[in-house]
A and B are shown apart, each in its own frame.
Chain A
Amino acid sequence: MAGYILETKDLGISFGGLKAAQNVNIRIKKNQIYGLIGPNGAGKTTIFNLLTGVYKPTTGTFFLDGEELCGLSQEKINHKGIARTFQNIRLFNNMTVVRNVMVGLHDQPQFKCTVAETLFRLPRHFKTEKDMRERAKELLRIFDLEEERNNLACNLPYGKQRKLEIARALATNPKLLLLDEPAAGMNPHETEDLEKTIHFIRDHFDMTILLIEHDMKFVSGLCDEVTVLNFGTVLAEGDTKTALRDPEVIKAYIGG
């Protein structure tokens, strides 16, 4: 277990008779950018839902930094250090950009103050509010969103919404960041930009990243290792270039 930030052991889930994922073993080392790929319906997002507690697995378990998180509630898993973005962007649309990030900061201990402090408007209340806002702005700066901080999230262009989702996830101070198709719907220029941003997050936040993506060029540019899923099972894993050349993988993608 030592050395792995995330380790899944025979993780699997069935919905009725459908085995959406079975015997999935993924091992991710600290500071890795790791890819989870596979054709549509292969169970990639299902794995994300298992890792974040949205689904409870039927078999197997998983560990974050050696600690078993399987079975905890969604918010507890987040507190333990797994944060995510969504395939279909799920921002708080009618809140401003900066507030979206501040929601991510909600449970950071340094920003908590007691109900009494809030009720009586004690100085600490204003201080924590100010600190939170500053921290949120810092995060937005990284993603070039500081200028837009007072716009409603729903009014941002698509690419920026994706970035805001990453900023909000980072605000929860995770050890492992799960990105669900971060490049979906982006133009080639935005994708290139995103590649740089993800590298920056890894280095600047000392982060480990697990991402789902369909853009193979993007995956081979970013990920050192991948796991390829097909029909809920692991088809291939390991070094990205080798895995992508695997005949089984090519067959799964192209069909036949």
Chain B
Amino acid sequence: MELILSTLINGLSLGGIYAMIALGYTMVYGIAKMLNFAHGDIIMVGGYVIYVFMAFHNPLLAILMAVVFCVLLGITIEKVAYKPLRGASPLAVLITAIGVSYLLQSLAQIIFGSANKMVTVYDFGSVKFLGVTVQVSALVTLAVTVVVMTALTLFVKYTRLGRAMIAVSEDKGAAQLMGINVDGIITITFAIGSALAALAGLFYLLKAPSISSTLGAMPGIKAFTAAVIGGIGSIPGAMLGGILLGVVESISYKITAIAPYTDAIEFSILIIILLVRPTGFLGKKRREKV
């Protein structure tokens, strides 16, 4: 019982991180219709910014700076690398995104070296829950993710800007002809996605206080998997997919106790789900009119 509970809680907190990253992926994909493969590396950048500003021993300052820096970085990347390619083939944009990803990783390695840096942001301690020791940071991660997901859903549904975002995601051309500044909307989307990535970076450091330049690579791919499982473009879908993936990872790790197998299991699940439901759990089915 205790084993099950601790595995579950572990999975939920890991899932919270994946969900946070997946939300960023799904927002950018849903609105700008592009896979931003550099999204995972923004997490890494967020982590390093926290590392740098923790020199002042003020976690709140560090988090704030990480969010601000990542938002500016996200907007810059969009303006410099992706915007000139608007209207180009999706493949060109995808390749560019991969290029940006390597650029960020290499820059981080040049600046901070290849050795892992250690940084403790804040120690929340742990609590006993039904006989299981639970890291409070895991609960914080989960709670923040749920709040962010709810806020995003409300934002998209009930605000003028959110409605414009959906309109852009449905038909960029028509939205523009209705007077919507499409470039502006895409910029805002990237800003939101990058802010979420910065938070994900924070959660990573809360979980394991060590950063390297490739910190974001694997979680990025897993969160992408989560977004696809949930139905890419869907905000609750990203949450669902992230949590599911986290729990699966935690369970399969407990069973096999060998890390590489857990990845194999996760991606097998992705393949099976895509065979059964190509649009993911909450993705929209596209019916073509004949």
Contacts and interface: CB of A to CB of B under 8 A. Distances in A.
A78 interface: yes
A208 interface: no
Interface stretch (B102-110, B159-167, B203-211): B159-167
A126 B160 CA distance: 11
Given A90-B174, A132-B160, A75 B284 contact: no
> Contact residue range for chain B?
20 to 34
Contacts of A112: 160
Contact of A129 (B155, B160, B176): B160
Contact of A106 (B164, B170, B173, B284): B164
A106 B171 contact: no
Nearest to B284: A94
B164 A75 contact: no
A185 to B, nearest CB: 13
Interface in A90-144: 90-95, 99, 102-104, 106-107, 111-113, 115, 118, 125, 128-129, 132
Contact of A92 (B159, B170, B284): B170
Nearest to B184: A75
Given A92-B174, A128-B160, A107 B166 contact: no
A107 B180 contact: yes
A90 B173 contact: yes
Contact of B178 (A73, A93, A172): A172
B177 interface: yes
A94 B180 contact: no
B179 interface: yes
Given A106-B160, A118-B159, A129-B158, A75 B182 contact: yes
A56 interface: no
B139 interface: no
Interface stretch (A3-11, A79-87, A190-198): A79-87
A103 B167 contact: yes
A170 B83 CA distance: 30
Interface of A: 52, 54, 73-75, 78-79, 83-84, 86, 90-95, 99, 102-104, 106-107, 111-113, 115, 118, 125, 128-129, 132, 168-169, 171-172
16 contacts: A74-B173, A75-B179, A75-B182, A90-B171, A91-B174, A92-B166, A92-B170, A94-B166, A95-B163, A95-B167, A103-B163, A107-B179, A107-B180, A113-B160, A128-B160, A132-B160
What 3 A-B pairs have minimum CB-CB distances, sorted nearest first?
A78-B179, A92-B170, A90-B174
Given A54-B177, A75-B180, A107-B180, 14 more contacts: A54-B173, A74-B173, A74-B176, A75-B181, A83-B177, A83-B178, A94-B170, A95-B167, A103-B180, A106-B160, A115-B161, A118-B155, A118-B160, A169-B178
